[in-house]
């Protein structure tokens, strides 16, 4: 199962989304200068990464179902 290259790409994309999300949450929790400078940019990156991850998940499901 983990030998499928597309599955590995999907898992990496999901991990990237999680890392960006946790960085954003950590910035919100810490507050201060970092949050003021980077909060919107980090959440924008999360939205882009999440869109890519969802597209890859849908592609993976479509290919595996015989699409």
Q: Report pLDDT for 66.
A: 86
Task: Report the domain count for the chain.
Answer: 1
Q: Report pLDDT for 22.
A: 95
* Residues in contact with 43: Cβ distance below 8 Å, sequence separation at least 6, in sequence order: 24
pLDDT at 67 over 70: no
| pTM of the predicted structure, to 2 decimals | 0.85
Q: Give pLDDT tens digits for 1-57.
A: 678 899 999 999 999 999 999 999 998 998 888 888 989 999 999 999 999 999 999
Cα-flanking dihedrals φ and ψ of residue 65, to 5°?
-85, -5
Domain that holds residue 59: 5-64
Give CA–CA dist 20/28, Å, rounded: 12
Cβ atoms 48, 56 nearer than 8 A: no
């Amino acid at each position: 199962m983990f030998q499928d290259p597309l599955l590995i790409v999907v898992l990496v994309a999901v991990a990237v989304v999680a890392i960006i999300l946790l960085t954003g949450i950590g910035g919100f929790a810490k507050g201060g200068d970092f949050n003021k400078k980077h909060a919107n940019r980090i959440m924008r990156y999360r939205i882009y990464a999440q869109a890519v991850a969802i597209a890859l998940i849908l592609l993976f499901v479509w290919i595996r179902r015989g699409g």
